[in-house]
Amino acid sequence: KLMPRRRLLEQVIGERFDYAEMSKRALAANWTSLTNDQRAEFVELFKAFLSDRYAGKIEGYSGERTEYLSERLEGSYAEVRTRLVSSKTEIPMDYRLMNKAGRWYAYDIIADGVSLVKNYRSQFDKIIHSDSYDELVKRLRNRTVAEEKKETR
């Protein structure tokens, strides 16, 4: 079972991240060929995958601080530049956001210059072109199931 802190983290993050937009951008041109059911399934799988992949890293943070460097606003899009600072290192963390119905949601994170969405777009594209979209879904599902098994041990 998920630890209470992790469950709370997932809830807070889930309220501020637009997983549908992240999914659409990560799949890029492949998104347009999916049915609404396939899109909904992919969004849930990608959300679970990201949660499994990054929640543990976030849980491990303690004592670090975030410095806000700047923000840039262009219509309904914004970029907030920050830096995660610990006693040993500083990591640039930029957030790309979009305004939907008066609320800001993150759709990409750029950690140390690497875009999360672009990184996964490249990986997903390779899998889809060398195998198939169904293979990508299978791999995401298997990774998510493997993480769930680890959590219940």
Report pLDDT digits (tens) over 110-133.
999 999 999 999 999 999 999 999
Say yes or no to pLDDT of 148 above 70: no
- Determine which helix (DSSP H) or strand (DSSP E) holds 77, and give its type and residue range: strand 77-85
Q: How confident is the model at residue 64, as a pLDDT?
A: 81
Token readout for 37 is: 């059911």
From residue 127, alpha-carbon distances to 25, 47, 123 in Å are 16, 18, 6
- Determine which helix (DSSP H) or strand (DSSP E) holds 145, and give its type and residue range: helix 133-151
Q: How confident is the model at residue 1, as a pLDDT?
A: 47
Of all residues in the chain, what percent carry a pLDDT higher than 90? 63
Q: How confident is the model at residue 6, as a pLDDT?
A: 64
For domain 4-118+132-151, give the CATH number. 3.10.450.710
Q: How confident is the model at residue 151, as a pLDDT?
A: 55
| Type of residue numbered 153 | R
pLDDT level of residue 69 (50, 70, 90 thresholds): very high
